[in-house]
Amino acid sequence: MELFTRMAQFDYEQVVFCYDDASGLRAVIAIHDTTLGPALGGCRMWTYASEEDAVVDALRLARGMTYKAAAAGLNLGGGKTVIMGDPRKDKSEALFRALGRYIHSLGGRYITAEDVGTTVQDMDLIHLETPYVCGISPSYGSSGNPSGMTALGVFRGIQASAKYLYGTDDLAGRRVAIQGLGSVGYELARLLRGAGADLLVADVNPLQVERAVNEFGAQALPPQDILSAECDILAPCALGAVLNDETIPRLRAQIIAGSANNQLAEERHGDMLHERGILYAPDYVINAGGLINVADELEGYHPDRARSKVERIYDIMLNLYKLSGERGIPTHRAADEMAMKRIETLRQVRSTHLGHHEPVRRGR
């Protein structure tokens, strides 16, 4: 892989390789764009097939965080950390503290948080070495696990999608198929059922499915059938790349709006949804609730304020759909355009020199 060529292609600012022999740390920190503010993005731990795969994943995820923060109206840039290792057996205090020292060496240009393969407890260990970490334990004045806020944002995004397509955001009687009943998917099911929606659910964990059937009166479907279920709204809340050449022709939903990251296998699949007349809620916009929530910690966490910010996803989605309709472009392209326009506008504003000035980071 030609690293600098790839960085130049999408205008990345910095890639940091972190190695510590004593703890076994092998990690990559990618910072994509800090025009709007310091880069904020989670710390992922995964058993990558190769070092190149880890670097590519860090770059891809960091760029996605730039777009997510910009579309959400946050004064933050995009970054990501990936740790090469098995989260089931390779974790240690020394490993996360070593990573914390690397993060601290960046002087606040990058702020981390939990992600796939890491937990609140892992973030607490990083916090022992640096203040540039969010999503730590509430005992530190933080917000803890952001899954509930992510689910709330997706729920409000679904309401906005219904408002745009049906003329009302009332979900009573709407059939919603949920793929994946993890911490976000299950809370989303709770919110949807509370709004009167009828649920179809699937998960690889049969105990989660049974729980949803008993608690919400949901109808269980085999995992292989959920994407093609006849429904008003399909909510992918599990794996990425579920919208692809194989699945799109089989879709029988009018709206796709879920929490899973990178739902489109390729950019062109968003165009295919548009051609079929299926309203797609771009994943990095509708699932930004968790990011919005942890970002509130930078001002001293206030749950009511954070919730109010997450609720704004409703209006953000409506504005995105309006732009898509006015321009006659697919929603995923409208989302990119909306995010980049904000970055470019602020880049011009911030080109005006204001004299010597140290940025203030409001902490806990």
Contacts of range 325-332, beta carbons closer than 8 Å, 24 or more positions apart: 329/274, 330/270, 330/271, 330/273, 330/274, 330/280, 331/270, 331/274, 331/279, 331/280, 331/281, 331/282, 332/264, 332/267, 332/270, 332/280, 332/282
184 assigned to a ligand binding site: yes
Smallest Cα–Cα separation from 283: which of 341, 343, 239, 342? 239
Q: What DSSP string describes 124-177?
A: HHHHTT-S-B-S--GGGT-----HHHHHHHHHHHHHHHHHHHHS----TT-EEE
183 is in an annotated binding site: yes
Residues 283, 258: contact at Cβ < 8 Å? Answer: yes
Active site residues: 80
Task: Decide if 140 contacts 127 (C-beta within 8 A).
Answer: yes
Q: For residue 247, give Cα distances in angstroms to 57, 99, 220, 304.
A: 24, 39, 20, 39
Is 363 annotated in a binding site? The answer is no
CA-derived radius of gyration, the chain: 20
Residue 144 counted as an annotated binding residue: no
Residue 56 assigned to a binding site: no
Strands 233-236 and 43-46: what pairing?
Answer: unpaired
Which residues line the annotated binding site for NAD(+)? 180-185
